[in-house]
Structure 1
Amino acid sequence: MASEQQLTFDARGHQLTNINVWTADSQWLAYDVRPKGSDFSGLTIERINIASGEVETLYRAGDGAHVGVVTVSAETPPRYVFIHGPEHPDNHWRYDFHHRRGVILAPHKSATPVTLDAFDITPPFTPGALRGGSHVHVFSPDSSRLSFTYNDHLMYEWHSAEDLRNVGVALAGHPIYISKAHPREYDGSHFCVLVSQTTATPQAGSDDINRAYEEGWIGQQGYLHADGRRQRWALAFIGDTLSAQGEKLPEVFVVDLPENDKDYASAGAAPLQGSETRLPAPPAGVVQRRLTYTAHRRFPGVVLQPRHWLRTSPDGSTIAFLMKDDNGIVQVWGISPTGGEPWPISHAATDIQSAFNWHPQGDMLALVCDNSVMLLDVASGEMRRLTPRSEQAPSGDAVVFSPDGCWVAFMREIAGFAQLFVTPV
């Protein structure tokens, strides 16, 4: 059994995001300092060297704003993207799902981050800008674009039932400038669109969803269709359907995306920028597909606890997610992005307890089970403990391989605060 190394020791929360927390050289871990994952009151984005213990403060928020949920690009030198709350918050405008933005920090170029998503809430709205809050921003494997989840300010103000969570994509090299008719509006460095399709009134027993979330990029280079065609860009996500009996049933969905950046500017059935009574809509050529149909199972639906994000093997062939087996035990399951029946990857005697990530070689997953950080062999389903079984399980929020595949980063709660740990593979 491998040993574990505690990296942080002070009385602050140290929060890892669920993916892309390592620099490309596998030497530094990026994190924020929220007291708890649900308490968005951290002021700094930091990183720590796993060999020396050296800590660097990458960014400190000011003017009453808070920051968190940092992820790292795969480039050298790296860029860091994270959630930034509003400056000068007041009772009318403060941090919320629909009042937050993504910012990208390139410390080798500037100490000041650049706002990712433009914000425009004054008609006529601007294609490529958003009207709400983006969060959990994740670079694509080649660092050329980002995914995010989104909530809309205008829909919240107009009719909260229409404030539906969606998945979006941000494209670099296409900055958006707006007129700034409202004091809270701002420009953005990326062209941003929503790519999921939701409705506030899904039809029971249909493929309609009223929520899209916990997305992940498919493959290092996308995936292959059954006929051998490569789908270069695609995201997997959880979508909330309604069963024939009208009960919420989370299922696995895929959205196939255009290959050329210019195609994202072409509107589909509705305006990219939305309207005063309608959410922004996906571009033309975006195809949303449902993969899982689990209503017939003894324990149907993707499980939402532990919270996890859909993660795909490096070759794009397998989307992994959590679902209960016929004994009611939470297991890791796999499904092809082209469809078909899901299959069990794990065969654990007790519940999987965490989010998970794939080893860079695609043969293992790292996760928490039986109060230990485990390696799960994808082919055999066998598990190997990386850390001793503890009375309190490691945090389920993040269990992340280093890019070289030699380390797993995770968190434990010590004296009421999350602390960072690594264990060798």
Structure 2
Amino acid sequence: MSEKQITYSAKTHALDNNDNFSPDGRFLCYDTRGTVYNENLANSKSIEKVEIATGEETILWDPPSITGEEAAPGIAAVSFHPNENKVIFIHGPGLDEVKERGTYSIRNRTALVVDGNGGKNAIKVDMRDISNRVTTPGAHRGGTHRHEYSKDGTRIGFTYDDFLVQDYDRTIGFMQPDANVPEGYTHYFAVILKPAKTGLSLAGKIEKAYGDSWIDEAGSMRAFIGKVRAQNGIDYENDLFVADIPKDINIGTSSSGTHDHYPEPPEGIAIRRLTEGMNVTGIVRGSPDGTQVAFAAPDKEGIDQVYITNALGS
């Protein structure tokens, strides 16, 4: 198969290793970070799609933005829904919120959904609440990123960085519809894993979770890379983990945290470690049938290779 250049316009077309293909395979979605100033997501000016066959580009979302390197709202990291013609992407503070929230940062962003044909009808997915000593149940207090629908569209996975309690590194979470979703939003937020405090973990404990992706169609297994303290209590290892999230989980048993307490996951999630000391890197991926996980790690010569392992760990 020969390569084919699709875009020629004088702007960046950043895929960001997301679910960029439309459900019918005709389009790729992307953001335009790096077109002005720098590669900071805050300076992405639009969310777009391109038709693969023709190269025709369509702007899906282009809010007004503050000029300068420290900008808002910050829109990027877009993915298509697996079955519906709509896209989801990160969205920082709107221009009318900058005085209260500040400009874009990894701890100051949420998810927005718009139609796959464009338009100004935007849907707010997750609530960000830093105004209360006890965070609104189902909301968060930081930034969600790299939003990914499960293959059946029922859950959204993401990475999360907390704003109120910053002595914890990045972790992962999921959202789903619920009867108690905060008013004005579509999904209830929960972390999948509460990491150990940065630099204070014991042997075998995870300090950071990232590089995550759904494995199965139903969104009941999420693979991720965990930065875990080695058995010597000094070094760190980056290994492959899987979080088992029951379909009937009561997401309301999670805690959204307080002004000085980090969020807690809902009851019933189990974390499994699939590799030991492999220095896993990149973004892990599940197979189409949900039985295997692909990941990258260096071989004995230090060259990154692609490995495949059973999602159940056997």
TM-score relative to the length of structure 1: 0.66
State which of 279, 287, 298 in structure 2 corresponds to 1:324. 298
Equivalent of 1:281 in 247, 256, 264: 264
> 215, 239, 242: which is aligned to 2:212?
215
> Quick one: which amino acid aligns to residue 174 of structure 2?
V
**Take 1:324 and 1:107, find their aligned partners in 2: how far apart are those partners?**
38
1:197, 1:288 within 8 Å by CA — same for their partners in 2? no
Superposition deviation, residue 203 in structure 1: 0.6
- 1:243 equivalent to 2:230? Answer yes
- Aligned to 1:170, the other structure's residue is in SS state strand
| 1:86-144: CA deviation from partner (whole Å, max 9, x where unpaired) | 12336971111101111111356962211211111212222211111000001111112
1:281 and 1:91 map into 2 onto residues whose CA distance is 26
**Structural RMSD (CA):** 2.1
Describe the SS at the equivalent of 2:226. Answer: strand
Pairwise mapping of residues 72-221 of structure 1 onto structure 2 (< 5 A)? Answer: 72-76=80-84, 78-88=85-95, 89=98, 93-107=102-116, 111-121=120-130, 122-156=132-166, 162-172=167-177, 174=179, 176-177=181-182, 187-200=184-197, 201-204=200-203, 206=204, 208-221=205-218
- Determine helix, strand or coil for the equivalent of 2:196: coil
Q: Could you tell me how far apart the structure 2 residues matched to 1:152 and 1:27 are?
A: 37
- 1:338-396 CA deviation, whole Å, 9 max, x = no partner? 224xxxxxxxxxxxxxxxxxxxxxxxxxxxxxxxxxxxxxxxxxxxxxxxxxxxxxxxx
Matched residues in 2 for 1:336 and 1:197: separation?
Answer: 25
Shift in Å, 1:18: 1.1
- Asked if structure 1 preserves the Cα contact closer than 8 Å seen for 2:154 and 2:218, the reply is no
Distance 1:328 1:53 in 2: 39
Name the counterpart of 2:40: 39
Aligned to 1:254: 242
Secondary structure of residue in 1 paired with 2:295: strand
Is 1:21–1:31's contact at 8 Å kept on the other side of the alignment? Answer: yes
Counterpart for residue 69 of structure 2: none
The superposition leaves residues 200-242 of structure 1 with CA deviations (integer Å, 9 ceiling, x where unpaired) of 12113x2x111011111012346xxxxxxxxxx1100001011
Contact 1:258 1:264 in 2 (8 A): no
> Equivalents in 2 of 1:13, 1:255: separation in Å?
35
- The alpha-carbon distance between structure 1 residues 234 and 92, as it changes in their structure 2 partners (threshold 3 A), is closer
Counterpart Cα distance in 2 of 1:220 and 1:92: 36
Contact 1:119 1:188 in 2 (8 A): no
**Identity rate, percent:** 30
Corresponding pairs, count: 299
